[in-house]
Chain A
Amino acid sequence: MSFEPRIVGFLCNWCSYTGADLAGTARMKYAPNVMTVRVMCTGRVDPGFVLDSFRAGADGVLVCGCHFGDCHYVEGNHKCMRRIAITKRILKGMGIQPERLRLEWVSASEGARFQEVVNSFTEEIRGLGPIRLKEWAFVPEQVEAAAAAHGE
């Protein structure tokens, strides 16, 4: 049986959640692997949420927000982008490939883009394989070896 990744998606209420909704109402088919958590703004996405998702067994975390200049809360997406960059470094230190966390901008009108993002991210995580926190935790060499094996 092939590996089905489990992905947690944090979607901003105003753009990406609505975009995902649009993809749904437009009957677009996309991978069922992303399970969404609605937040009011990507600015609400605490790095803790990302880390907790991996702790709880997620294979990947997708954060989707508004395009720059479109943020309902003026600049929450800018703040999120900075936090995600830091979170990726934390993940690396913890032995989780930073590619397992992805930040994407999807507007309310981009149902097709949401479909494409979800599909491509699911494929990428499928390629990375299931997360194995117990073996990898705090062993950077192993992380790097694993990353090299996936052609980084």
Chain B
Amino acid sequence: MDKAKITIDGQQIEVDDGSYVLEAAKSLGIEIPTLCYYPYMVPYAACRICCVEAHGAGGWSKIVTACNYPVWDGLEIFTDTPRVINARRTNLEMLMANCAPVPVLQRLAEQLGITEPRWKTGSNYTCILCGLCVRICDEVVGAHALAFINRGAKRDVSTPFQLDSESCILCGACAKHCPTGYIKMEEIENRYIVHQEMNLSPNAAITLPFRQAVPNVPQIVRENCIHFKTGGCMVCAKVCPKDCIEYGDRPNFEEVEVGAVVIATGFDSFDPTPMKQYGYGKYPNVISSEEFEVMNNAAGPTGGKIVMENGAEPRAIAILHCIGSRDHDYHKYCSRVCCMYSLKFSHLVKEKTSAEVYQLYIDMRSFGKGYEEFYSRILDEGVNVIRGKAAEVVPSGYRQHEEGHLIVRCEDTLIGKYREIPVDMVILSTALEARRDAKEFGRKFNISTGADGWFIEAHPKLAPVSTTTEGIFLAGACQGAKDIPDAVAQGGAAAAQAMKLMAQGEVMMDAAYAVIDEAFCSGCKMCNDMCPYTAISFDDAKKVSVVNSALCKGCGTCVAACPAGAIMARHFTDEQIYAQIEGILA
């Protein structure tokens, strides 16, 4: 493309012929104020705040709008002359005459030295009719849901017939880019403090799969991406300086052959919504422990500050233990980690705020190395530790100044009294529970889940990391609720078990396995589906079923099922068992 040499405020620059002045000025670092400019669209020059003075070769000069004035060789631009300032002032005053004093106009007026606009307006209409929303909806998003309506003084931006538009995909691009805040999205998500960080925003299309993901690379969520809804947008591809955006990328499946698998799928956090008495999801300042942890993250949405939904620091916080654990309606087991992390929470609250902290516990289980000492330290820090599970959380509001606060009702079992504790924030120490797809997942590896949903180890004492399937090992909280030291220890053990298999290079088999006598097998295939380990296959050439002795565990289910009596369970043969019966009853 041809290049054009232009001068802006005395600085020379070479840019593509036909590009616009505003872009050239930007690349020189010269700021030109504008309200209706968006880099990925055809410029429209509606606000006319970006006007600059253009000088041509013949000595002529005129005021042009920088955003849509194409450059040509020898063009000279001045952005700061009295003539330019005067023009901008007039244009801004005209905008202000038709529009309520919104912050963005006020700020510009201050910059341009307007103390009192010449034309007054009583209007509380906040649109400056720049058309940015309409153009974004058409050119970038491609939804074509917005347009100008009416004419003259009644001109406005709206959806057709001013009704909810079916074309609108709720992307929010119009509201985000509206310079004056005229266009608003109806607020759907009001729990924004914490939840924003949990998935960046209610409908973020580019997000990290989860924090500290490996590789830590953002991905496009197709369901939320404007490009996959309308075919338009692609702003991310235009922005990315490294051309990393690949719209065609899809999840890949790769097959890897391995000799051992360590399952470390972790746990889910109990969702306290069904426990209506604690008002989770109903009162914004009742949050789960996971949300509190996010809030505490220095890189999180609040920068590590402990704040209520309104942004103020809480004066009193209650931490309720055993939410979903040790509860006959939910999980009967103890989640093991909650007591200690709740104590950690109170330490953090004491460190970062001056709030009172109340811990409501059933039993304080500080079982590990150094844990009891930590508990005593927390007590010394002045945390109020109350023995008694919270009965309910209710909003206070008998008196005006109490509004928005919460009351935790409980029985203090050590003094035998009913108590109502006024607090600003409630943290629910939620249980650890098995992943919701644990059962389905376990089936893929032929390992079973217990009544609580955790994966079952081969033996609680003698084989705590092995499973009933050879070569599959368990590590961490997928096998049962446990804290980090325990999970790390188990992970090491599981890795060692896997290494042992690899070092041996051969698999030790149990002597008890099933054998099919080909002479008797009728090929009915009844046993093939019977085997939980898929150890039996059908030999199409011989028309008999065959047991893979490496996969067989010797349970004998197929032996009992075989109508021909063709299968023998080694060490548990029919003859042996009949002989035992005979012997017992002799």
Contact = CB atoms under 8 A, between A and B. Distances in A.
A44 B581 contact: no
Contact of B580 (A37, A44, A73): A37
A57 B555 contact: no
Contacts of B553: 73
B586 to A, nearest CB: 8
Given A69-B448, A74-B532, A43 B585 contact: no
Contact of A40 (B555, B574, B584, B585): B555
A73 B450 contact: no
A132 interface: no
A76 interface: yes
A41 B533 CA distance: 14
A97 interface: no
Contacts, number: 87
A43 B577 CA distance: 14
A69 B442 CA distance: 12
Contact of A39 (B446, B456, B533, B556): B556
Nearest to B576: A37
Interface in B80-128: none
Contact of A76 (B446, B456, B557, B577): B557
A48 B565 CA distance: 11
B64 interface: no
Q: Contact size class for A?
A: 20 to 34
A4 to B, nearest CB: 13
A28 interface: no
Contact of A79 (B468, B533, B557, B584): B557
Contacts of A58: 581, 584-585
Nearest to A72: B468
A79 B559 CA distance: 12
B161 interface: no
Interface in A94-130: none
A49 B577 contact: yes
Nearest to B557: A43
A31 interface: no
Given A8-B584, A71-B448, A74-B448, A44 B559 contact: yes
B448 A40 contact: no
A142 B569 CA distance: 39
Interface string A46-90: 111100110011100000000101111111100100010000000
Interface string B537-561: 0000000000000000111110111
Interface of B: 446, 448-451, 456, 468, 512, 530, 532-533, 553-557, 559-561, 569, 572, 574, 577-578, 580-582, 584-585
16 contacts: A6-B585, A35-B585, A37-B580, A43-B560, A44-B556, A46-B559, A46-B560, A52-B581, A56-B581, A56-B585, A69-B450, A70-B451, A72-B468, A76-B555, A79-B557, A83-B560
Interface of A: 6, 8, 35, 37, 39-41, 43-49, 52-53, 56-58, 67, 69-76, 79, 83
